[in-house]
Amino acid sequence: MSVIIKTHNLTRRFGELTAVDNLNLEVYSGEIFGLVGPDGAGKTTTLRLLCGLLDPTEGEAWINDHHVEKETEKVKDRIGYMAQRFGLYTDLTVDENMFFYADLFGIPDAERKERMSSLLKMTRMEPFIKRRAGQLSGGMKQKLALMCTLLHRPKILFLDEPTTGVDPLSRRDFWVILHQLVKEGVTIFITTAYMDEAERCNRVGFMRQGKMIHCNPPDVMKKKIEEFCYEIQCPDRRAAKEFLQSQPGVLSVEPFGSALHLFLSPAVTSALTLEGAMNKKGLGHAVFKPIEPSLEDVFIAMARKEQKPD
């Protein structure tokens, strides 16, 4: 696969704050690349740098072999950018919003109706074409925002947490649409707060404090972590969590449904050792079950590892 997005030491500072710190990244044509990380990690700033909406303090970026700073207009012709708060006009209907954005993109009249019809069919928004945007559900508003972004047929789609606050069914529909776009040759770069969405990406990058900490396919990321993951069933989760967090060799321990998920370093401790320590502490009988971690487990563990002093 060819590289369609590339950065070299891309950096952006805001005064004393380094929002993006020497980012080196390659995204391949036709993939869904997910960017995840805690609030303030630099995800939105990265997207804005790649789209030419912010100038880097240092470093460079290329989109489809075009230099983002030096060839901004060529870059903008090839990308679609959907911000967290897309500029829909709530007093306009679905088709009026689309016509407005078609005018902004300079799409000829002969082409816009065919493009609009295709997008409405793909998103199943045809029955709502005359409904005002302000009267749409959260999921429908996101579909409308996506259609407006896609009107000029971009090769690369940048999406900044597009499904935040959207109901689970609408999120699922949104991802069906994204996979259809990939089949049609669109490359997707998405930030998301949902780990189940990150699982659907071809590759995932984990950012923290402006730096890219890890970048791999989700299944590879799960297998590469050195610590062992366990599910723990115990009578008092809160007391068990507080105790386990203080034990040597425990990287992270977090609630997960009615259980706890724990990462431990096998070079320092073991499930048997921790189970015995819990019994000695009088925390009741605990059952440790080895499991394959979820991507959410992995990212929490990675974050904890980065927080620990060397």
pLDDT at 35: 96
Please report the pLDDT score of residue 165 as a whole number. 81
List the CATH code of the domain at 3-221: 3.40.50.300
* Helices H / strands E in the chain, number of each: 11, 14
Sheet with 17-28, strands from edge to edge, namely: 17-28, 3-14, 58-63, 66-67
The structural domains of the chain, with segments of one domain joined by +, span 3-221, 226-292
Q: What is the pLDDT of residue 1?
A: 75
Query: In which order are the strands placed within the sheet that holds 250-256?
Result: 250-256, 259-264, 228-233, 287-290
Whether 3-221 and 226-292 share one fold: the answer is: no
The domain defined by 226-292 folds into: Alpha-Beta Plaits (3.30.70)
For the chain, 310 residues long, the average pLDDT of each consecutive 10-residue run is: 94 96 96 93 95 96 96 93 85 94 89 91 93 91 92 94 86 91 95 90 94 93 90 94 95 92 95 93 91 90 72
Give 255: exposed, middle or buried? Use CB within 10 Å, 0-12, 13-18, 19+: exposed
Question: What is the per-residue pLDDT for 49?
Answer: 97
Question: For residues 116 and 111, what is the distance between their CA atoms, to the nearest angstrom?
Answer: 9
Contact by Cβ (8 Å): 45, 51: no
C-beta of residue 214 within 8 angstroms of C-beta of residue 302: yes
Structure tokens at 94: 């679905």
The pTM for the full model equals 0.88
What lies within 8 Å, CB to CB, of 266 at 6+ separation is: 227, 228
Would you give the end-to-end CA distance of the chain in angstroms? Answer: 38
What pLDDT shows up at residue 87? 80
pLDDT at 308: 63
Q: What is the pLDDT of residue 193?
A: 85
Specify the residue for token string 């699982």. 199
Residues 55 and 103: their CA atoms lie apart, in Å, by 27
